[in-house]
Structure 1
């Protein structure tokens, strides 16, 4: 019997009782394996075991066959038959003991089979759990790697946006210098457009005279946009 399909209903106690009674009526021992083979959906071993124990207790189930009650026959028999009856009782007692021992061995075999089956299920669940833990660890590692790459891309994007913003500011300053002539960073700042001042709030460096001087000096070092003049002023670079 294959394990019950996912979502299959668990067998009720009454169904387990009915199947166990039917097996017993056919002369078959109602072991866990037999029960799961006979149940429509197999059922969880745990649930079937629970109901089967209740059935055994309620039915007073005992696999051994009852020995023939010889006490009445022995009382009714005469002294001449006493020895024969004793021998017969002994033989039957031996047979009964043999049957009882066989039944106990069979029950032990069933119990061992049930126990091995449950141990197999536990090992399977443990293996599945270990696989899930391994997959979770791999997923966590992959998530960390993706997050690190994403942070790197976001950092590069922020730098690109900042460089693009400051280049637009430098172009705007160059246009101001063309109209006004050489100015200091302090004189330049009030001349910038309001939208430029608002845009600076999106970047980490504040739009101050000191920041303007640093950015303009970088352009001067590369021969772009500006050239320095006396008293800390900057002029628009020719060409």
Structure 2
């Protein structure tokens, strides 16, 4: 889209040459062309400012007037071209400065993104390490809890076996089925809490373990057990 002053210069030059500055001729004379609508708008402004009326256009001009008009048009054209060149140079310099600023901003943003990515990767690595450590701690805790449960169970059954030994001391040899009703209520409940319900079969199993190690009990006839002496 040509600026208004370009249309003015072209129209003045054509008029100085004795040519009629019509819309078609003006558009053809402009190096960059331009839309008919914009050129027509500027040309109407030129006619109004110059007071130009095609009907009053002189049919004959002296050579001196034509030469002066051509010289004036050429000077105006050169001035317009110089101003356009300077304007273009300024715009190009501003565009270059803006492009350099944009590039610097882009590099800065890229640096920030890389830094954030590195920090995120470090956080992810630390989070994974923390998860692994938590898993190891939980595994050790579970192991300790299992050991505690086993110790508690062993301690509980040791108390049960001592209780059975006391029962046998007063009653003599008895079968596990005969011993079971003689045990205390809390003993039965405690066995259930340790996930090993106190039955005759369970009582026999625990007593046989001690018999195998030569502790607490001695096997007798008809599935009875007596308290081991000595």
Offset at 1:73?
Answer: 8.1
Offset, 1:71: 6.7
Query: 1:122 aligns to what?
Result: 113
Q: Does 1:192 align with 2:183?
A: yes
State how many pairs are aligned.
Answer: 172
Per-residue CA deviations over 1:104-135 (Å, capped at 9, x if unaligned) read 11111122222222222222222222222212
Aligned equivalent of 1:135, options 108, 120, 126: 126
**1:69-122 CA-partner distances (Å, limit 9, x unpaired):** 57768958x624332332222222222211111111111112222222222222
Which residue number corresponds to residue 146 of structure 1?
Answer: 137
Which residue of the other structure, out of 162, 172, 177, is the alignment partner of 2:163? Answer: 172
Gaps of 5+ in 2: 13-49, 51-67
Q: How many angstroms apart in 2 are the aligned matches of 1:73 and 1:198?
A: 114
Please tell me whether Structure 1 or Structure 2 has the larger radius of gyration of its CA atoms: 2
> CA–CA distance in 2 between the matches of 1:114 and 1:176?
91
User: Which segments of 5 or more consecutive residues in structure 1 lack a partner in the other structure?
Assistant: 1-66
Which of 196, 200, 203 is the matching residue for 1:205? 196
Equivalent residue number for residue 99 of structure 2: 108
Q: Tell me the TM-score normalised to structure 1 length.
A: 0.66
* 94-103 vs 164-173, greater mean Cα deviation: 94-103
CA separation in 2, counterparts of 1:73 and 1:172? 125
Please give the root-mean-square deviation of Cα atoms over the aligned residues, in Å: 2.2
Structure 1 counterpart SS, 2:195: coil
> Quick one: distance in 2 between partners of 1:102 and 1:178?
112
Q: TM-score, normalised by structure 2?
A: 0.68
2:172 to 181, 196, 200: 181
Among 80, 88, 96, the residue aligned to 2:79: 88
1:201 counterpart SS class: helix
- Rounded to whole Å, the distance in 2 between the matches of 1:91 and 1:189 is 120
Partner Cα separation in structure 2 for residue 141 and residue 68 of structure 1: 75
| Structure with a larger share of its residues in helix | 2
What is the SS of the residue equivalent to 2:214? coil
8 Å contact 2:9–2:80 — kept in the other structure? no
Aligned residue number for residue 41 of structure 2: none
Query: CA deviation digits over 1:181-231, x for unaligned, max 9?
Result: 110111000011111111111112221111111111111121111111111
